[in-house]
Amino acid sequence: MRAVAIIGTVLLFCVQLSAQVVSSFRLQDIVSSPLPKSNSINDIVVTRDSIWVGMGKGLSLTTDKGKSWRHFSNTLTFDEKGSSALAVRENEIWVATAYTTKLDNASIPTGHGLHYTTDSGLTWQFISQPVDTGKVDTLIYGINKIPALAITVPQQNVTFDIALTSNAVWIASWGGMLRKSTNHGTSWQRVILPPDNLNRISPTETAKFQLSNVRKVFNGDTLTENLNHLVFAVYASNDSTIWVGTAGGINKSTDGGVSWRKFTHQNQTKPMSGNYIGGIREQRWKSKRIIWAVSNTAFDPDEQRGVSFSEDGGESWGTITFGDFMRDVAFKDSIVYIASDGGLYRTDDFGKTIIHAGTIYDPTTLQRFTENKINAVAVQGDTVWVGGSEGIAYTIDTPAEPFGKTWRIFRTYQPVENTAKTYSYPLPFSPDDETVRIHYSTQGKTAFVTIRIFDFAMQPVRTLIQNAQRSGSYEHDELWNGTDNANRRVANGVYFYRVEIEGNELQWGKIFVLQ
């Protein structure tokens, strides 16, 4: 579950003929790696002992709680394009991938396509991002004829969420709207949702509207822009009950996606906090089935960022509001974990009391997340997994080991192994937005380490650590926020750092500060 800004870019829209590539291999033949493929985590899905992770470089899997990883990037149908959505249902796995293209000096999110397997990853097929032909189609909706804007390009047509039922796959593709396939992507059906001015639609009721998420004039007719046709989230409670989140609210169908009821912040007495729905999940606890929505603000100043929950099928909502932008939710019995730009939160009483996880820090490797933003959260028994822009991590939540007390962090890096090398990243780095990491190894032994930073004239700027003991079992990152020993922000330019490892030769590296 991710979130993007509401985009008003004009899209050319539309039926798709799938290009498919079939590849097979043995899962055990994928080389195991001790490190994740990417530090950018978009999705986490737990199935028993398997942790499937959608990353900035595709799909990865761990079955031993992060001790080893299998990466699907650059194998068969996968390249290193980023994962934008991930869904698992028994042996069936679907992964959407995306990338950016440059258009008029702007970076445009672009849908690449969908990879799927029906045998737990042994064989895969690839489908190009679904697009249409023509400009405006007429869709038959019961007694109605609905003009529909054709989506003819993959730009702004990115699949951000996937839902799987026993007989269909559903994709929420933002500018590409909502689609489903009952033949594993050989063909796709556009699913008609209510326009902004209607709260219900049914094929047996007369209604005049268009399926369009931009304003467009075609043959003298004007297609209306509908925020409710910008689709970001889809969830299947069962084969009949489908929930869809858009930039205009939440839509619910109880007849497999034919008729729809729309819930918004404006059309209910007890509404969700906001209309911009970044994700939908279901908490199943005891006999309860509670729908949760990541409900951020759209355009109404009365809306608030938060998460919303309903115990009565959407008729009324409770809310937990934050100033943070919300991104994902996960559950362990009565406990709800909320991922946001402000970090990870926990509540076991529907928001009456809330615990913040605090800094994500690994005392074993001394790694930590320097950014608060968490994109994804998932639960595996008593283990709570999170992912953001700095890697993937987990904490335990039990009475004996309280939530957020101890973390295990997994990050990728370019190993220096047991050689006398060091490097810094990112290069250059901007202290306003990030910290720089100085990476080094103690060459397989526990030793005391000192790191000093100098300016271009070799004048001392900062002693980062001094005689700090570091284990030989791991490679290390030390963090610098771009300030000197007096806590003043340094100027732009080239800086040098020196790594002094007890009993070793000095190691030198460069840092480029650019604000």
The CATH number assigned to the domain holding 459 equals 2.60.40.4070
How far is it, in rounded angstroms, from Cα 37 to Cα 232?
26
Q: HSE of 390 in the Cβ direction (CA atoms, 13 Å)?
A: 24
Strand partners, 512: 494
* pLDDT on residue 292: 98
Residue 133 within a domain: no
Determine contact, residues 418/442, Cβ cutoff 8 Å: no
* pLDDT on residue 26: 56
Specify the amino acid at residue 500.
E
Domain of residue 463: give its range: 422-513
Residue 240 within a domain: no
Question: What does 369-428 look like in DSSP terms, one character per residue?
Answer: -S---EEEEEEETTEEEEEETTEEEEEE-SSSS-TTSSEEEE------TTSS-EEEESSS
Residue 497 within a domain: yes
pTM: 0.92
Secondary structure (3-state) at 334: coil
Q: Per-residue pLDDT for the chain (515 aa), expressed as one digit of tens each? A: 554 433 333 333 334 444 444 455 556 557 789 999 999 999 999 998 999 999 999 999 999 999 999 998 877 778 889 999 999 999 999 999 999 998 888 899 999 999 999 998 888 899 999 999 988 889 999 999 999 999 999 999 999 999 999 999 999 999 999 999 999 999 999 999 999 999 999 999 999 999 999 987 766 668 899 999 999 999 999 999 999 999 999 999 999 999 999 999 999 999 999 999 999 999 999 999 999 999 999 999 999 999 999 999 999 999 999 899 999 999 999 999 999 999 999 999 999 999 999 999 999 999 999 999 999 999 999 999 999 999 999 999 999 999 999 999 999 999 998 788 999 999 999 998 889 999 999 988 999 999 999 999 999 999 999 999 999 999 999 999 999 999 999 999 999 999 999 989 999 999 999 98
* pLDDT on residue 5: 38
Residue 27 within a domain: no
Residue 205 within a domain: no
Q: What tokens appear for 436 in the block?
A: 């720089």
Residue 184 within a domain: no
* pLDDT on residue 14: 36
Residue with tokens 């990541």: 294
Residue 426 within a domain: yes
* pLDDT on residue 6: 34
Q: What is the per-residue burial (b if ≥16 Cβ within 10 Å, else e) of 458-469?
A: eeebbebbeeee
Residue 486 within a domain: yes
Number of structural domains the chain divides into = 1
Q: Give the contacts of 218 (CB within 8 A, at least 6 positions apart).
A: 135, 136
* pLDDT on residue 17: 41
* pLDDT on residue 219: 67
Determine contact, residues 363/393, Cβ cutoff 8 Å: no
